[in-house]
Amino acid sequence: MTERLIAIYHVTADAGSIEARARGIAVEQSVEMPVEGIDDPFVLDGIVGRVEGIADLGQGRYEVRIALATATIGAEAGQLFNMLFGNTSIQEGVALVDVELPDSLLQAFPGPNLGIAGLRALTGAHGRAITSGALKPQGLPPAGLAAIAGRMAQGGIDLIKDDHGLADQAYSPFADRVDAVMDALGATGTHYFPSLSGNLDDMRRQLRHAVARGVRGVLIAPIIAGIPTFATLVREFPAVAFMTHPTLSGIARIAPPLFYGKLFRMIGADAVVYPNHGGRFGYTPQTCHDLAAAARAPWGHLKPSLPVPAGGMTQARVGEMLDFYGPDTIVLIGGALLATRDRLTEEVAAFVAAVARHTFT
């Protein structure tokens, strides 16, 4: 017997075709060729995907459970995504909604370096949500961004993350930006998570520079950087917190609770940014609830991750967000704080105070 994981898909089909469709997915995500062309017994018994169950969800939708051999993945993070949803992602009417992994496979992935407890120790935020702002707009030089960061720090915010659009542009090179922002933050206690860009070597260089300047966490966009790049950096910088950004990740073909809450966490996300309901993006409250729950839930040896609901959040929503998410959350307000211009420090202070005094019911 070879060891298997279970990949769970939701498939749109009719009753007469769902069995063939399920077998098709099992083949597509394993040997990707007609099974009748295979005579090797190890491949037939140990590698070909197996349909483990089909459940009718009603309205022409089915839950399909496929058992895939973990030997096809080894311990490689990119190959994990390839085997779970590679070619099937290009087919219509199918979404990857969950996975069940044997402990041996889960053990091959480190999960978050710091996790919730580590991020709380880092920021000194206990018994309340962690407050966060975003550094932007893109186009400002390092001094301009550092001035904004300094004013947010004066308001007492826990951490400032780069906008994911801040890369290594000529008008704001990564190293100069980190130097300027870290100088501006000084001993305020506010942490800065700069955004990594470029290839693995670029990101290593950026991380080394940042860590040397006292940076304790970074923002990374795994779908642009590449899953293996993200996985490599998590292992090479075990003292650094990694906050993931969902840019370019599309919507709705991998269920967000699985994508961000489980798979990004497996690879090493200490905190996962995602679009909160009621902002500029289309996630439902249920999706957001499930995502946050997945990020925090006990799961093998993995530390829990902090959800970072974002995307058009405002000061007016802080109370509602805290009621919805509870204290194990990073509350991120980006543009709405920056739009207050001259009142930035005071608005940040009010935001910080609102989070501090919130009573969880």
Position 356 contacts its own copies (CB under 8 A): no
Question: How many Cβ atoms from other residues are within 10 Å of residue 104's Cβ?
Answer: 11
Residue whose entry in the numeric block shows the structure tokens 């922002």: 181
Is 91 a binding residue for its own copies by CB under 8 A? The answer is yes
Q: What is the DSSP string of 53-67?
A: EEEEEETTEEEEEEE
Nearer to its own copies, 70 or 190 (CB): 70
Please report whether residue 225 would count as binding its own copies according to CB under 8 A. yes
List, in order, residues 6 or more apart from 196 with CB less than 8 Å away: 202, 203, 206, 207, 218, 219, 220, 225, 233
Q: Which stretch binds its own copies (CB under 8 A): 52-60, 80-88, 105-113, 115-123?
A: 80-88
The burial class, CB within 10 Å (0-12 / 13-18 / 19+), for 19 is middle
14 binds its own copies (CB under 8 A): no
Q: Is 126 in the site for its own copies (CB under 8 A)?
A: no
Stretch that binds its own copies, among 12-20, 113-121, 263-271, 276-284 (CB under 8 A): 276-284
Distance, in Å, from the CA atom of 211 to the CA atom of 39, rounded to the nearest integer, reads 53
Give the tokens for residue 128.
């309340």
Which residues, 279 to 318, sit near its own copies by CB under 8 A?
280-282, 311
Instruction: For residue 280, count CB atoms less than 10 angstroms from its CB and return exposed for 0-12, middle for 13-18, buried for 19 or more.
Output: exposed
Minimum distance of its own copies from residue 62's CB (angstroms): 18
Does residue 163 interact with its own copies by CB under 8 A? yes
In whole angstroms, give the CA distance from residue 149 to residue 181.
Answer: 6
341 touching its own copies, by CB under 8 A: yes
CB of 342 to its own copies, least distance (A): 10
Q: Which stretch binds its own copies (CB under 8 A): 116-124, 150-158, 225-233, 296-304?
A: 225-233
Residue 255 touching its own copies (CB under 8 A): no
Structure tokens at 351: 């935001």
* From 334, 348, 352, 355, residue interacting with its own copies (rule: CB under 8 A): 334
Should residue 57 be labelled a site residue for its own copies when binding is judged by CB under 8 A? no
**Residue 120 CB, nearest distance to its own copies (Å)?**
28
Residue of 65, 120, 164, 177 interacting with its own copies (CB under 8 A): 164
Q: Which is nearer to its own copies, 251 or 356 (CB)?
A: 251
Q: Which is nearer to its own copies, 185 or 196 (CB)?
A: 196
* Binding to its own copies, residues 22-41 (CB under 8 A): 24, 28, 30-34, 36-40
Cα separation, 294 vs 61, whole angstroms: 23
CA distance 174 to 215: 13
Q: For residue 256, say if its preceding peptide bond is cis, omega within 30 degrees of 0.
A: no
